[in-house]
Structures are given as C-alpha cells and as structure tokens.
Amino acid sequence: MCYQLSSCAFIPRAISVQLSTNQTSFKSDRAQRVDHLTKIPRSVNMESLQNGYLFPEIFMRECLYAKRNPHARLIRLGIGDTTEPIPDIITSAMAKQALALSTAQGYKGYGPEQGNRELKRAIAETFYQDMQVKENEIFVSDGAQCDISRVQMLLDDSLSIAVQDPTFPAYIDSSIIVGRGGRFKAESGKYKKIVYMKCGAENNFFPNLSTTPRTDLIFFCSPNNPTGSAASQQQLKQLVEFAKANGSIIIYDAAYAAYISDESPRSIFEIPGAKEVAIEISSFSKFAGFTGVRLGWTVVPEELLYANGYPMIKDYDRIVCTCFNGASNIVQAGGLACLTPQGFQALKRTMRYYMENAKILVDTFKSVGLKVYGGKNGPYVWVQFPGLSSWQVFDQILERAAIVTVPGTGFGPAGEGYIRLSAFGHRECVLEASRRLTKLL
C-alpha cells in the first residue's frame, strides 16, 4: 500500500506543471506552430520567476530510477502530504452538510466571504484563547498557500521582504509573482531584492537579528518547513521587537503549530504586542489531514496599521470579498467538527502517529551518528550530511535505499548539505525506510 512500483504513473503535485514550464520544451513547441501572437508582453514578474527546478528534478531522477529498477519498492518521504484517514466524526459532519444542501431547509447559497461565524468562533476559542484574537479578525479560507498570495495582493508591490533560509518556497515565489523580489542571481541561488535570514543549527534555527537588514515584510514559518524547528517564546519576542523597531510586518505561517510538543508558542499572538506587527496564516491541512479537502485561515489583527494609520484588516477584508468568495460550506462544516472535543482528540491521535514516525526517522539517523534536527515540534526531519551536497545524498538514498527525500537546497541556499524527510506516511513504510537507511548508512 505504501510502495509504488511505478512511481511515474502518478505525477506528484506541482511537478507536472513545473515539468511543463521547462524552457527547452517550450522552445521546441514554439518552432512547430505560431498562428497568431497577441501583443501582450509576458509579465516581467513571471519572467523573473525561476522554474521550480527542485520537484521536476526530483521527479525526473525518480523516473529514471524506476525505469532502471522496475521492481523496486519505492518509499516516498519527499512531499509533505498527509496519508492517514480523517476521523469519522469530521467526515460525517461534511457528509451531513452536503446532504442538507438537497433539502429546502438545509440549502444555503453564498456564505460570508470571511467564513461562517461558528467556525470563526471555534477557531478563536481553540487556537487563540487568552490572546484577544476576535472572531472578526479571522478570515476562513481554502488554505494557507492561497492566503499567502492573498496577503501578497494586499500589500504594495514595492515592499522589501525577508525570508528564513531555508524555508517553504511559496513565500519567495509569490513575492516574485507580485513583483517584489528582483532578478534571480544564479551564482548565489538568491533573488536580488530578498533578504535571506540564515537559520541553521549554528544559530539555533533563528536568524541573527542584529545583522539582519530592515525589510518591510518578514515571512516567518514556525514550526519551520523544512527544518521542523519551532521558535521559542524568547526568540519570537525578539522577532516582534525587531519588527516593531523597524516598522515591519511579520507574516507568520503557523501551519504546523498543532505539532508543537514543548513550550514553544503555537501562535505569534502569544507574544505581547504581536497584534501590532503580525499577520498569522494557518491551516487545517496538516493538522486535520485536509490537504485535499482545503481549509485554512488568516488572522489580521485590528491593531495592525499602515503608516498612515489605516487598519490593514479593512483592506484585507476587501481583498477577501473581491478576490475570494469564501471556503466551501461543506468543508467549513468539517472544520467545525475538527474543533469539537471529540474531533480534536481524534486528530491528536493522528498527529501523534505522524510524530511517532518522525521519532523513528530521527532515531534512525541518530543511531548512525548523523546530526538530525526537527521531528519534535514539526513533522519534518532535517538531516545533515557533512561533506556531501544535498543532491549527492538524495541520489545515494534513492539509488541504494529506494527512498525519495527532498534535497535541502530546494528550500534555499542554506539547505546545502541537508535533506528533508517527511514524517507523513504509513507506519510500515516508515519502518521499512528506517531498516533500509540503517543498512545503508
């Protein structure tokens, strides 16, 4: 069940596209037929956007491997996609809501674009108790990735940005799409106008803010994808103070917050004063296995003000109403069920399961003497291989253990020498991966 004999029969998400945006294939297409050209120039932003070299490259190597080894039992611990069933109580609520739409009493058309009130209240009570986050500051959405782009649309294109290095690539890619990143410099692997805040083992996965230049926006993901590390209360306090002193905004991605097992804050709003400097984006995807169901939310505090004193929440509200039309009412019913005591307990069991996977992987690498990070507060395991490039490690593990990982450089230049493994997977796959890795390493 967990193995895929023909890995290339299914093209994982984001890969088919990126393969198709390959410049070479475009040029050969172009030679074939040009009946009519519009006079529309290609957007300079889209032109600046680098091809997502990472996932197509992973996929191509995987395909080549599968071709050479048609009977290999490939284990995929690359893309962070949930694998375990959603608890009944949640899917039953969605089924019930779907069926209600066939009744005169239960049919509903447009809901509020900002989300159903009960769900917003449940989110506020579950995730923001004692943080003074109000219902009207919560905007329910179809997922965190979509919200990242909506926040980008909200803000002026000329703003400067900083990101953690390594980090989830969507912050950079969506910044480039709205014209905020400048040109890509192949030699450094960086976009010219973006500040890359190095977050590695040497600085406890938190940037050295005393040497970080001021930017308008700071994207910060905690627990971090790919390193799995969560920033501490003290670190986030520093970050909020830094943003406040600079007049910057933190765009805080808490998509993995439910996996935190220690005292690390689960929301930036645990930090006093954060409501004046931060937007928080979060998601049901990894918390509830909703990757394909699609539900998330964004908190824009009333206290967050532009330089002229205008509240950002009002513009975000306008963006949500103009460019979005609310999350599906069926899915929102599922979200509400996630936040009932029974739903929440059931989800905790699933998250525990994934974190046990993470522990198996962490222990595996530790047992062979490697330095391994993450896996405690986030479902990712980040392993250092001194003296080897990320791609060399990726290749060796693929070739010799038939396991797909992600090379660390896919998340930024500081990921060099690392690989990321996802703890989302069936237990038997993770155990088999552990056996193979122990044998290999």
- The residues in 161-200 that bind a copy of itself, with binding defined as CB under 8 A, are 170, 173-174, 177-179
Among 331, 338, 383, 397, contact with a copy of itself (rule: CB under 8 A): 331
Quick one: which of 281, 266, 267, 285 has its CA closest to 334? 285
Q: Does residue 2 bind a copy of itself (CB under 8 A)?
A: no
Applying the rule CB under 8 A, the residues between 133 and 152 that interact with a copy of itself are 142-143, 145-146, 148-149
Least separation in angstroms between residue 209's CB and a copy of itself is 17
The yes or no reply on residue 14 touching a copy of itself (CB under 8 A) is yes
Amino acid found at 351: M
Q: Does 324 bind a copy of itself (CB under 8 A)?
A: yes
Quick check: bond before 226 cis, omega within 30?
yes
For residue 180, give the amino acid letter.
R
| 272 touching a copy of itself, by CB under 8 A | no
When asked if residue 77 is in the footprint of a copy of itself (CB under 8 A), the reply is no
Burial of 361 (0-12, 13-18, 19+ CB in 10 A): buried
Does 247 bind a copy of itself (CB under 8 A)? Our answer is yes
Is there binding between residue 371 and a copy of itself (CB under 8 A)? no
* Span of 303-311, 376-384, 392-400, 405-413 interacting with a copy of itself by CB under 8 A: 303-311
Site track 336-355 with a copy of itself (rule: CB under 8 A), x = hit = --------------------
As separate numbers, helices (DSSP H) first and strands (DSSP E) second, the chain gives 15, 15
Cβ at position 48, least distance to a copy of itself in Å:
12
The DSSP bridge pattern shows strands 371-374 and 380-384 to be antiparallel
Indicate the SS3 state at residue 71.
coil
Which neighbouring-strand residues pair with 371? 384
- Mask: binding to a copy of itself, 107-136, rule CB under 8 A, as x and -? xxxxxxxx----------------------
Would you give the end-to-end CA distance of the chain in angstroms?
26
Within 387-406, the residues that bind a copy of itself by CB under 8 A are: none
CB of 220 to a copy of itself, least distance (A): 15
Contact residue for a copy of itself among 9, 28, 34, 70 (CB under 8 A): 34
From residue 404, alpha-carbon distances to 8, 24, 239 in Å are 13, 26, 35
Please pick, from the candidates 322, 342, 345, 367, the single residue that binds a copy of itself as defined by CB under 8 A. 322
* Interaction between residue 1 and a copy of itself (CB under 8 A): yes
Check residue 428 for interaction with a copy of itself (CB under 8 A): no
Distance CA 194, CA 184 (A): 10
- Should residue 325 be labelled a site residue for a copy of itself when binding is judged by CB under 8 A? yes
Distance, C-alpha 53 to centroid of its chain: 18
DSSP calls for 171-185? HHHHHHHTT-S--EE
Q: Which CB sits closer to a copy of itself, 111 or 413?
A: 111
Burial environment of residue 418 by CB neighbours within 10 A (0 to 12, 13 to 18, 19 or more) = buried
Among positions 196-235, residues that touch a copy of itself (CB under 8 A) are: 216-217
| Pairwise CA distance, residues 49 & 179, whole Å | 9
Q: Does 153 bind a copy of itself (CB under 8 A)?
A: yes
